[in-house]
Structure 1
Amino acid sequence: MGAQAETTAAQASFVDDYLAALLARASHLISAEFHRIVQAGGFSVGEWRILATLTDSPGRSVGEIARVALNKQPTVTRMLDRMEARGYVERFAHASDRRVTLVRITAAGQDVVAGLLTLAKAHEARVLEPLGAGHAAELKTMLRRIIELNEAAD
């Protein structure tokens, strides 16, 4: 960190220099605009997160979906019930452990979320563009590392 950055950090209030507060504020600011688009498309933010989580997956457990989609498992189960009734997701038994139920997105679910995925990628590109490609990639790498280290601690 350069001298100017150190001085600025030293002068910053607690919440202006506290990682959790910075991440929360950045997430809120970045997400708010896109969440309006999701809701205008007829989905709750939770439903969007579930569909996005399932998009590139052959199937995930309800617990894993809850962890990635940032919701409690009972809430995710209720959303999955509604989404399954609408034909967007389906449940199936794990191949080697029949006690585990997995969830996957259906073709209909993939069709309805495809447009939102395109909009999400465009939104992300607009947000990251001022950072430049190198810094944007570095930021994502660091965030994935923070997540990995903290999930391992759970």
Structure 2
Amino acid sequence: MARALELNDYVGHLIRRAEQVHTSLWFRHVSRDITSQQFAVLNALRQEPGIDQRTLAHHTSLDRSTINQMVRRLNDQGYLSQVRDEEDRRRTLLNLTAEGSELLDSLIPPAKRVNEQLLEALPENERALATAILRKIASLDYEPLNRTV
């Protein structure tokens, strides 16, 4: 019989716990209505206005069904607009509305503060390294979840 894992040494468990901490801080200090994933969508549209949903999904590392639901919800709330691409009528281009831009402006300062709070758990000389390590893990290529083992 295999021994149980020491969860405090198990990277997946630690990433999940770190995400729980982030979500709690986000909820308390940034927004109870806009999730950090929705914030990422709004922020990506500020960085690259007029992109399509597939490009937005790629930039935010969200799957197609999740991005579809988010775009629909943010559109219904008046935070983004959708227009058909005149050059390729199959594509819908996305932009922040004035309300979406105002919302993003109000979310950026507290989102930066949450990021600072998370990094404050580390000595100052380890913060850039921790961010670089997380960036490497986040960039790993992975198989779709429906893969059989």
What's the TM-score, normalizing by structure 2? 0.70
Which one is further off, 117-126 or 26-35? 26-35
Unpaired runs of 5+ residues, structure 1, are: 1-11
Structure with more contact order per residue of length (Cα contacts < 8 Å, sep ≥ 6):
2
Distance 2:117 2:91 in 1: 40
Does structure 1 residue 38 correspond to structure 2 residue 31? yes
Could you say which residue in structure 2 is the equivalent of 1:17?
A: 9
Q: Distance in 2 between matches of 1:75 and 1:149?
A: 20
Identity score, percent: 26
Deviation of the 1:30 alpha carbon: 2.1
Deviates more, 1:25-34 or 1:92-101: 92-101
1:5-154 residue pairs with structure 2 within 5 A?
Answer: 13-36=5-28, 37-39=30-32, 42-44=33-35, 46-66=37-57, 69=60, 72-93=63-84, 97-150=88-141
Give the drift of 1:15: 2.3
Cα distance in 2 for residues equivalent to 1:105 and 1:34 = 22
Superposed CA offset, 1:35-81 (max 9, x none) = 24411xx4355533422333322244323444565655334323322
Partners of 1:34 and 1:115 lie apart in 2 by 13
Higher helix fraction (1 or 2): 1
Out of 80-89 and 20-29, give the one that drifted further: 80-89
How many residues of Structure 1 are paired with residues of Structure 2 in the alignment?
Answer: 140
Structure 2 segments unaligned to the other structure (5+ residues): 145-149
- Given that residues 38 and 48 in structure 1 are in contact (C-alpha distance below 8 angstroms), is that contact kept between their aligned partners in structure 2? no
Deviates more, 1:14-23 or 1:85-94: 85-94
